[in-house]
Amino acid sequence: MVNIEKQIDYWRKGAEEDMPVGVKLVKEGSLRQGLFFIHLAFEKILKAHVCRKTGELSPRSHNIFRLLELSGLQHSREDALFLANLNKYNIEGRYPDSYEDLPDTSEVNDIINTGGRVFKWLCDQL
């Protein structure tokens, strides 16, 4: 039998470790790596929510928009679009031949600011 509370704690702790690493990497100029870690932090915190909602292991998915849907959380359209947009940084981090242009400074600041707000909200909801 799977200990769901242990799974939730595992995913939450991983998310809380990865988010500041991602932000630090972005601020130091390692955008692809930093954005990948930010995506990873959202993936993990959402997997914790899915475990909480379903009482089962989270699916092996990197799609944070889909994980948001599975979490059952009531969210704004803006936050859902933000998370859906972050999915591309998971793909770029894993498959270098799919790189798009990096976001400009304004977009990076928005990702950090909006991401920080949404991430805190997700942590508070857990």
Q: What is the pLDDT of residue 61?
A: 92
Per-residue pLDDT of the chain (126 residues; tens, 9 = 90+): 889 999 999 999 999 999 999 999 999 999 989 999 999 999 999 999 999 999 999 999 999 999 999 999 999 999 999 999 998 888 655 566 666 677 888 899 999 999 999 999 999 999
Q: Which residues of 18-36 are buried (b: 16+ CB within 10 A; e: fewer)?
A: bbeebbebbeeeebebbbb
Sequence-ordered list of residues with C-beta below 8 angstroms from that of 31, at least 6 positions apart, any chain: 25, 102, 103, 108
**Measuring CA to CA, how many Å separate 119 from each of 43, 79, 82, 111, 112?**
10, 10, 11, 11, 10
Residue 89, Cβ density class (10 Å: 0-12 exposed, 13-18 middle, ≥19 buried): buried
Q: Given this model, what pLDDT does residue 102 score?
A: 79
Inter-residue contact 82 to 115 (CB < 8 Å): yes
CA gap 102, 18 in Å, rounded: 20
Q: What is the pLDDT of residue 99?
A: 62
- The SS3 call for residue 48 is helix
**CATH number assigned to the domain with residue range 4-125, chosen from the 4 options 1.20.120.330, 2.20.28.160, 1.10.30.50, 3.40.50.1110:** 1.20.120.330
Q: Which amino acid is residue 5, in one-letter code?
A: E
Domain boundaries, the chain: 4-125
Over residues 97-113, the pLDDT tens digits come to: 666 677 888 899 999 99
